[in-house]
């Protein structure tokens, strides 16, 4: 069966979806926009937004009893591929040891005019 994972330390879902779902020892996080849960605002710039998306990811993973070390796959959605290099610098700082598998691509538009949205899959071990 599946279990909903939710925390007030990350932004609430802005639609009919869960922050994360745990099923069979796997944690599936919905895409995390760079919204600061304390203020409801987004920081300026791709690097600050990437950091905030990861802060939200870390908060949800913590609620599930996990850390970024449990992440096996990420998907990074960018407002424009010209942002890739700057995003990648911050992304690389988030992991210790082996990097998870990743896809990264530009989309036409992200919710709330964000520059980045990141979703992850983690495995409890």
Q: Rounded to the nearest 5°, which phi and psi values hold at 20?
A: -160, 160
Residue 125 has pLDDT above 80, yes or no: no
DSSP code per residue over 33-53: ----TTTS---SSHHHHHHHH
Mean pLDDT of all residues belonging to the chain: 97
What would the mean pLDDT of 78-103 be, rounded to a whole number? 97
> What's the CATH number where 34 sits?
3.30.1330.40
* pLDDT attached to residue 14: 84
Tell me, what's the pLDDT at 97?
86
Question: What's the pLDDT tens digit per position in 43-89?
Answer: 999 999 999 999 999 999 999 999 999 999 999 999 999 999 999 99
- Name the one residue in this structure whose structure tokens are 């993973």: 61
Rounded to two decimals, the pTM is 0.97
What does the pLDDT read at residue 106?
98
Q: Which domain holds residue 54?
A: 2-123
C-alpha span between 44 and 64 (Å, rounded): 29
Number of domains in the chain: 1
């Amino acid at each position: 069966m599946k279990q909903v994972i939710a925390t007030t330390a990350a932004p609430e879902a802005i639609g009919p979806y869960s922050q994360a779902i745990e099923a069979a020892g796997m944690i599936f996080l919905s895409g995390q926009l760079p919204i600061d849960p304390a203020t409801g605002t987004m920081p300026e710039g791709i690097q600050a937004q990437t950091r905030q998306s990861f802060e939200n990811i870390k908060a949800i993973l913590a609620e599930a009893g996990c850390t970024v070390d449990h992440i096996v796959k990420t998907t990074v959605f960018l407002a424009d591929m010209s942002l890739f290099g700057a995003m990648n610098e911050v992304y690389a700082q988030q992991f210790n040891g082996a990097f998870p598998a990743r896809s990264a691509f530009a989309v036409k538009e992200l919710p709330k005019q964000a520059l980045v949205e990141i979703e992850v899959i983690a495995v409890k071990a």
